[in-house]
Structure 1
Amino acid sequence: MKLLFSEVRPNHADYVYPYAIWALPEAHETPADLLAAGFLPSNHALERFYLCRQLRVDLRKFAPSSENRRVLRKGEGIAATLVPRAEFEFTAARRDFCLAYTREKIPGMTPERLASLFANPVTTHVVVFREADGRELGYVTLYHEPGRMAFYYYAFYDLAAPRPNLGIFMMTWTVRMLAESGCTHAYLGTCYSAAALYKTQFAGGEFFNGCGWSASLEELKHLLHRQDDAAARGHLLESAAYREAFLPEGLAAAAARSRFAGR
């Protein structure tokens, strides 16, 4: 991959001059390579990716917990099918279904962006969830490299359905399906608020901390607390409390684990 560094607002008082880090894939790479390095897609054509605090599940370590099984039981009777995008007809009815969800849950999603989602390489498959009578309850868009990984991108579901926890059921079902299919990783998006911690309920969960992938939920919660702490100053790696708790081996050892080699 080739990296670009896009400046964002500096903080002169604290000598913080940050960059957003973008990656452009090279000819020998697939999106799976960039996600494994901590990047997520920043456009639907998969031409550009951005480095972020994202979550994934190492599916080789996954087994349904008692909570996962409880969620799956609540969805008994729901059928789910993994459909290649080329076989998923994005009809006007399905468009309206998704837009009804976005009006409540994703207000920044325009009809044009929704159509782009279902028409571009970022969606290779759609998981379709149905009631026993055939009524469609929801969709999950995936970027999927079978046998290797999948990126769980957007979920749309019927907010009025008399099914408790339908959204987390859809995620849990999909994670289990990917594990059973032989995939090694399921990528679940970012975690920049406590509201996103529901994604950490899967055995094998880990997050990208800037140095690599960490399985420490304590570390993730530390980062969430720090980002909301008005008294926190400087970069994370300048924090003695963080280094002592989560990088006791030192910065040189953390750098040795890095996927990125300076030139």
Structure 2
Amino acid sequence: MMKEQTPQHIAIIMDGNGRWAQRKGLSRSYGHKQGTDVLERTLSAVADRGIPYLTVYAFSTENWSRPEPEVSYIMQLLAKGLHEYTPRFIKEGVRLRAIGDIDQLPAETAAQLRDSMEQTKGGQRITLCIALSYSSYTEVSHAIRHIVADVQSRRLSSDDLARPELINDYLYTSGMPMPDLLIRTGGEQRLSNFLLLQSAYTELYFTDTLWPDFDEAELDKALADYASRQRRFGKVLQ
């Protein structure tokens, strides 16, 4: 794939862990464990293709309404996975970042997440951004509160407020490029409150493949589809 056809930032809605497990007569928890393993392999595949940013939707604010045992298992799995993978992240140049309301996470999970981000802050090969307790509406509310605070403290002027792109500086993803390609697995065709502002001109790719079955071949299908598209950003190409 030519350099100009390669996305700089891929976002993934990792959907289908529970359905994958249920179809096999297994617990939903087993599906989440399998999904974690697939994420690790996908991260390596994305980095190998020279793509510097990967953002994944791991847990939404709406997911807190799931059964408590499932939520508890996901949080424990996250803390354990971060502990196990952080040394590998450091070795492979992975910088870990998180977006969302991290303070809502269980104390152990939040502490491990912050420790892993601190340990990997020097990674320069790829940034893995994990969306946890995330909602685009919550993100916009967070941005507005901080903009208002900066106006009141005079760090922002009325001229600053006239810039349409100002809000980008206050989103959780500040400092990252907007996603070029968003992949959703599992057959659903919606964004589910994920990166709504950031995805204004993102190319969308939906696949019926459940997340635990997502592999390098499926990734390459999405990349090939992306490379075939013309990105106009509202303009007319000559």
Structure 2 length-normalised TM: 0.31
Higher relative contact order (CA 8 A, sep 6+): 2
Larger radius of gyration: 1
Larger strand proportion, structure 1 or 2? 1
Structure with greater proportional helix content: 2
Tell me the TM-score normalised to structure 1 length: 0.29
